[in-house]
Structure 1
């Protein structure tokens, strides 16, 4: 893999798209930028609007270097929007009132107390006025998580132990314990923006038909080649345009809807109306990290809620900073797991919701083409990500494409193994 030096991660605050600069600072938890490449979140009037990549030299002001690049990026984004997209974006950019709907934040974890503490510190700093924080300790081997939560965070964080392994099982344990009307989920390797929960919860109050909201995920650090490669190809981000997915009005640009659930968001940044998630049956316990299925728990829940007739909204205002895995082997495991999780969730959907089979079969030809595209050797992404800067290029390795495809072949087998294992346990 191409060896790339570390890229600093920062935030650039602008009063308006053309400036002036209000602030420039490192991303939460990141070190101060030093001369070299800088990847920055651009905020306009405090709200996430774009990412930009630039390079500054010794003696230069990084904000002065990045601000013109940010203005250009924002102008390009506005120019490329259709009238309908521009109207939807303008509507989505209106600042919603601070949500007062009671919310529960659920974090599933296993033997990562250091990263969990970092996440909890950010979650305890949320500006949402009425929320609880629940940690689900999944199949623990030691008392480290229990000790952290019950000692350092006593009285501020609720501790739930779930001995059956699997992310979906852990999430279901959190759902059972939660008291909020909105159930928000994130991972133990994120730092949440102070307004994250408020932004994630507000759309539910504005739209009674909404069942799920997802948000923006950006890299907390870009220090290793594996992290840079992942972010060069989009990482977990879904862009800066708010979007509504309505099963009554399938999006014309997504012919596989609702089965391309990966485009809706990710489990590291999602929330559900509690009543909608519970009526949909919660998460399928035979999916997710920690099971033979390897993943797909979040995708299953997205489609389950949509299949029940609820809408799903993506809002970039709900931001978390994610600590990407650092090593090449981590990336290999991730590629295989993504492929497996994709077909595992599809299998779970058909097993538990067979009425969706005709709709899925009708989309099989396009689905196969989509799968080939998704796992092809990819060029670098555009839109202010590391791969487009200067002469740095990060083609997606053929070995990772093969691993994704192998994972897709394995996913249905993994899901059925997970179901059998749970049946044996019962």
Structure 2
């Protein structure tokens, strides 16, 4: 339950805009602030907030990230990816959110990558609304997965995909026009890699709940705009904790053969199950444990439209807690030899849970009500039992 009273204050919407440092533009306004996705020659390189109005010079001065060193080389690399990159299927798993899906598909059919196809998996539909939306996009393929659960929908997609690469995006997101180009470019650069995740920025900040979620870190908490490679055997960080740098299910892509080799997604995890999530974290961790390299490439950008209502965010925060400990329960139940490694990491996890300066709790300094984190902790306590129940249901085909 999420029966915690959280006062919703008055709020002035904060626009989310793109500014390219190669030809910067000012932002008008009469007070308030804006979220700026900073680009350089089209490449996403950072994100910042500015007070309105803001001149082009102020925005450029506020940016402290890395610029594109060689714009001509960037253009050539993108052109090569469009010529030589592998075929990719962009998959959207959805359930009864037709308007969000329509917005998502509009961004996918506008991709600038020529070797792409799009697949929608309609999970346990109760109406024909999703089918009717997809019918408005003739190039998009539609299949149904009658059993509820995001992992079942993802596994159905894996059974359908015939391309070398598969990319995943949520139905409440939109993809940057070069999203698939950047995914293909990354796999060309790292032919040994099994998967990647990109950056997820907010699509809008129009309500307190959306601002609080960004204060918590949004979908890309702790990842930033610096590309990273995670190669087992050469990593300074454990693949088991902390988890944020490895990726997020809202924006990830894989070599299809690698996903099949590790058995696909755990059907006791994911939205639509008692575990409420965690299937994306588990698949990334399983690949690392199998010795397969992963990449983080913020050039592959998507925009997420966060839950607008306080009650929805409260349910989400509790669900994140459930999913986190359900993920660890899955790891231990199916790989009991990992328990020793996890116990060694437990003191660091407890410190992060309690510390106000930890990445996990930093949002509390930015105005996020503490009640959300209390719900998150309640979810953590429920996660192990929920996973066991979900696993038993999945095992029995329920």
Instruction: Say whether the 8 Å CA contact 2:104–2:174 is kept in structure 1.
Output: yes
> 2:382 aligns to what?
410
1:13·1:24 contact (CA, 8 Å) conserved in 2? no
Residues 1:228 and 2:218 aligned together: no
Give, in whole Å, the separation in 2 of the partners of 1:301 and 1:377: 21
Task: Give the match for residue 4 of structure 1.
Answer: 11
1:70-108 Cα deviation digits (max 9, x unpaired) = 33322xx46xxxxxxx9xx979x9633315201111100
How many angstroms does 1:371 deviate by?
3.2
Matches within 5 A, 1:182-193: 182-193=165-176
Q: Equivalent residue for 2:278? A: 296
Aligned partner of 1:140 in structure 2 is 125
* Stretch moving more, 110-119 or 350-359: 350-359
Deviations 1:286-339 (Å, cap 9, x if unpaired)? Answer: 001100001101000110111111111111100011101001011101111111
CA distance in 1, matches of 2:388, 2:347: 24
Which of 288, 298, 305 does residue 287 from structure 2 map onto? 305
* 2:322 match: 340
1:411 CA displacement: 1.1
Deviation at 1:164, TM superposition (A): 0.9
- Name the CA distance, whole Å, in 1 between partners of 2:132 and 2:26: 37
Query: Of 23, 42, 66, which residue of structure 2 is paired with 1:46?
Result: 42
Identify which range, 160-169 or 363-372, moves more after superposition. Answer: 363-372
Quick one: which of 96, 103, 126 aligns to 2:88?
Answer: 103
Gaps of 5+ in 2: 1-7
Match of 2:233 in 1: 248
Other structure's SS at 1:172 match: helix
Partner of 1:82: none
Residues 377 and 398 in structure 1, CA contact (< 8 A), matched pair in contact too:
no
> Equivalent residue of 1:210, what SS?
coil
Distance 1:378 1:45, change over 3 A: same
**TM-score, with structure 1 as normaliser:** 0.83
Q: CA deviation at 1:127?
A: 1.3
Indicate the residue corresponding to 2:367 in structure 1.
Answer: 395
**What are the ranges of 5 or more consecutive residues in structure 1 without an aligned counterpart?**
26-32, 79-85, 382-392
Identify the residue that residue 316 of structure 1 maps to in structure 2.
298
Partner of residue 72, structure 1: 62
Q: 1:266 aligns with which of 233, 244, 248?
A: 248
CA shift, 1:358, in A, is 2.8
- Which residue of structure 2 lines up, in the alignment, with residue 118 of structure 1? 103
- What is the distance in 2 between the residues matched to 1:283 and 1:239? 27
SS at match of 2:148: coil
- Does the 8 A contact of 2:273 with 2:390 survive in 1? yes
Alpha-carbon RMSD across the aligned residues, in angstroms, is 2.4
Partner of 1:210: 193
Q: What corresponds to 1:360 in structure 2?
A: 342
Task: Give how far 1:365 is off.
Answer: 2.0
Q: SS where residue 284 of structure 2 aligns?
A: helix
Q: Is the 1:258–1:306 contact (alpha carbons within 8 Å) kept by the matching residues of 2?
A: no
Kept after mapping to 2: 8 A contact 1:14/1:45: yes
Contact kept? 1:259, 1:346, Cα under 8 Å: no
SS at match of 1:363: helix
3-state DSSP of counterpart to 1:128: coil
TM-score, with length taken from structure 2: 0.89
* Alignment size in residue pairs: 380
